[in-house]
Structure 1
Amino acid sequence: MAGYMGESIIVNGVYSPYTEVATRFYRLRILNGSNARVYNLALSNNADMVIIGNDGGLLKTPSSVKEILIAPGERLDVLINFSGNAIGTEILLTSNEFGNGGAAQGKQRFKIMKFKIASIVTDIFTVPAILSNVTAVSASSAVKVRTFEISNAMEHHGVPMNNGMQMRHRINGKLYDSNRIDEAVAANTNEIWVFDNSKGEEPHPMHLHGVFFQVLQRSGGRNNLIASETGWKDTVLVMPSETVSVIVPFENNKGKFVFHCHNLEHEDDGMMLQYQLS
């Protein structure tokens, strides 16, 4: 039901990797390429990580955090400062426990990779106060609000369960049909899309093709936005009991596009719909 979560975490195809670093800032460009697993990234020395970018590029301003939640399909640009550490120091990038992840997510802390301090250098880099010019899209500019209810139900076909039944994952009660247009959207308009997982029991990273959006609001569950959700996104994590609203500027790239849960097992099970921009 939760999707496939393997026993071994790999980074760039390598199990339990390490990399040697100097005492300076490093920029990590991170993609969560796992089937279903949500990570809560942190450093073992409790140092800050500075978020400078996400799915759609640089944020307007940097944000220093101790932990960063990242779901399948989401991307991050993060700065880590290794200065002040002695040669030989080892620092782990871990995934920490987190709440509200459903029955299968966030229960364990585990290692992802290791950084080894190999040399001492002088670093004069400072993080800029302004990174880019991201203009907020006003909610009042939306010409339409669409709500998408995320649900799952026991059936005889779908993702196998321990009880012999199978789980089907749906959006607005529908399974994907490539021959069906589910939503008709007008080009050069802004819309608010609401992903309602208020009755759900699993995390769902919702991904839109063909556009970037801005996250407006989260109610229920965590009940607020997190630093990595500022700026432009194309994937947003909707935890159990949460409802998340995004504003989507649809430009003039007309055609058919899908939107779906980026948990691969949920997507393959049919948690995907199609919109036509015209």
Structure 2
Amino acid sequence: MITQTVVHLHGSPSEPDSDGHPEAWFTKNFQQTGPSFVKEIYHYSNRERATALWYHDHTLGITRLNVYAGLAGLYLIRDKEEKSLPLPKGKYEIPLIVQDKSFNPDGSLFYPAQPEDPSPGLPYPSIVPLFLGNTIAVNGKVWPFLKVEPRKYRFRLLNASNTRTYKFQLSDLSSFFLIGTDGGLLKRPIKVQSLDVSPAERIDIIIDFSRFEGKKVVLQNGIDLDNPTGEIMEFQVTKRLPCPDKSKIPCKLSNIDFIPVEKVKKVRRLTLNDSEDEFGRLMLLLDNKEWDDPVTETPLLNSVEIWELVNLTVGIHPIHIHLVNFQVLDRHDLNGNLLDPLPADFGLKDTVLVAGEQTVRIIMKFEPYSGDYVWHCHRLEHEDHDMMRPLKIIPSSLNKHKR
């Protein structure tokens, strides 16, 4: 079996030849390469603000399979500002990569080869519209436990699941603090009791276990409490603190330069749609266009745009735009009524949860590179069939009418 792969450093402002374009795939020892393949060695500047990026496969049509098989990991960037803060450090800062999995009796991974009720004439194997595993794995272990001291811990949490969105909460519904999102630290911490996190989103949180001394507390998925997948992992809190906890949660975390709306050069209204393919399978689309349709999103380099993401479906779509970080301006229902923001909306984002029958407006500056990128839904079964579109950043020296 020949496996194609290409790495994408998710959230990084990478040059186009190092971005992991879906058609820049390669096989073992580069014996075969895709039509957009340029080079074997990618370059990442690592100059962005402190944040938790992640890397994963991005091969056209099989991203869901490669990521599910394990081609994903966290990639932490540090800077002087973050290092100066009295946040939990060292062994008290822990990455948590959450994925749902299913297993065969022999322990190998199970992934469906067809929808549950395939129509006559459906190819085998065939893509499925979603995948929800029946177990939850954290850092590769199913329903693990972690022994912690009765003190503050910092968790860098990534939802690396194919489809599943989580509502992360503690089993006693006590509060914890959100201090960062996809694009790094917030301006100030936000006290929360739960956080909705869709695929590809990252959260930077602090949990104070001092109130649980000698007890156990479970990290839950509040969306699914009636099922085994309602539990994520267990924290087992020791009775004694071996040394004083000198870490703190500062009132001010970081400086974020949000983009003034006055700098906007273009507003794009883009719909999220459902359709069917020639076999009657569910097919999700961006602005009613397929991957191979001509590029339509062509912003100028260094220009500022607002994108209105209008979800005409009933399901959640985490929308990821390559190259940029963006800000969430607001959320509305389809009747134009203003909705409450999510806590993560107050930070810099590269992936935004767009709930069913909802419009989310985001603002972004297209920099620092021009070239060929993509934007897509990060429910991987949707991305692979065919909820991904090309994004071409035009050098500002070219004719503006090409926008």
Does the alignment reach a TM-score above 0.5?
yes
Q: 2:382 aligns with which of 250, 256, 266?
A: 266
| Residue 215 of structure 2 corresponds to residue 93 of structure 1 | no
Q: Which residue identity does 2:393 align to in structure 1? A: L
Shift of 1:138: 1.6
Cα deviation code 1:124-157 (max 9, x no counterpart): 4321011000122122211000111000123334
Shift of 1:181: 2.1
Change (3 A) 1:142 1:106: farther
How far, CA to CA, are the matches of 1:217 and 1:107 in structure 2? 32
The aligned counterpart of 1:160 is none
| Residue 358 of structure 2 corresponds to residue 231 of structure 1 | no
Q: 1:134 aligns with which of 229, 244, 256?
A: 256
Q: Is the 8 A contact 1:150 1:170 kept in 2?
A: yes
The aligned counterpart of 2:59 is none
The aligned counterpart of 1:182 is 296
Q: Is the 8 A contact 2:225 2:231 kept in 1?
A: no
- Partner-residue secondary structure (3-state), 2:382: helix
Shifted more, 65-74 versus 40-49: the winner is 40-49
The aligned counterpart of 1:9 is 136
Task: Point out 4+ residue stretches in structure 1 off by more than 3 angstroms.
Answer: 105-109
| Residue 243 of structure 2 corresponds to residue 117 of structure 1 | no
Shift of 1:3: 1.1
How far, CA to CA, are the matches of 1:79 and 1:86 in structure 2? 16
| Residue 195 of structure 2 corresponds to residue 68 of structure 1 | yes
Q: Is the 8 A contact 1:38 1:106 kept in 2?
A: no
Q: Which residue identity does 1:224 align to in structure 2? A: D
Structure-to-structure mapping, 1:251-262, within 5 angstroms: 251-262=367-378
Q: Which residue identity does 1:117 align to in structure 2? A: V
- Partner-residue secondary structure (3-state), 1:84: helix
- Partner-residue secondary structure (3-state), 1:182: coil
Change (3 A) 1:225 1:107: farther
- Partner-residue secondary structure (3-state), 2:298: strand
Shift of 1:231: 1.9
Cα deviation code 1:178-213 (max 9, x no counterpart): x8322111011110011101x211100000001110
Change (3 A) 1:106 1:241: farther
Q: Which residue identity does 1:245 align to in structure 2? A: R
| Residue-pair matches, total | 261
How far, CA to CA, are the matches of 1:261 and 1:124 in structure 2? 41
| Residue 317 of structure 2 corresponds to residue 213 of structure 1 | no
Change (3 A) 1:192 1:107: farther
Structure-to-structure mapping, 1:122-201, within 5 angstroms: 122-157=244-279, 165-177=280-292, 180-197=294-311, 199-201=312-314
Q: Which residue identity does 1:196 align to in structure 2? A: V
How far, CA to CA, are the matches of 1:2 and 1:29 in structure 2? 29
Identity %: 34
How far, CA to CA, are the matches of 2:271 and 2:361 in structure 1? 12
Q: Which residue identity does 1:142 align to in structure 2? A: V
* Structure whose alpha-carbon radius of gyration is higher: 2
How far, CA to CA, are the matches of 2:226 and 2:374 in structure 1? 32
Shifted more, 13-22 versus 147-156: the winner is 147-156
- Structure 1's unaligned 5+ residue stretches are 98-104, 158-164
Q: RMSD between aligned alpha carbons?
A: 1.8
How far, CA to CA, are the matches of 1:80 and 1:47 in structure 2? 10
Shift of 1:168: 1.1
How far, CA to CA, are the matches of 1:220 and 1:2 in structure 2? 25
TM-score by length of 1: 0.89
Q: Structure 1 or 2: larger helix share?
A: 2
Change (3 A) 1:52 1:239: same
- Partner-residue secondary structure (3-state), 1:185: coil
How far, CA to CA, are the matches of 1:137 and 1:3 in structure 2? 35
Shift of 1:106: 8.9
How far, CA to CA, are the matches of 2:247 and 2:174 in structure 1? 17
Shift of 1:107: 7.8
How far, CA to CA, are the matches of 2:381 and 2:306 in structure 1? 27
Cα deviation code 1:86-137 (max 9, x no counterpart): 32x110000103xxxxxxx898671000000124223243210110001221
Shift of 1:46: 1.7
Q: Structure 1 or 2: larger strand share?
A: 1
Q: 1:51 aligns with which of 166, 178, 189?
A: 178
Q: Is the 8 A contact 2:129 2:282 kept in 1?
A: no
- Partner-residue secondary structure (3-state), 2:289: coil
How far, CA to CA, are the matches of 2:377 and 2:176 in structure 1? 27
Q: Which residue identity does 1:190 align to in structure 2? A: V
Change (3 A) 1:247 1:273: same
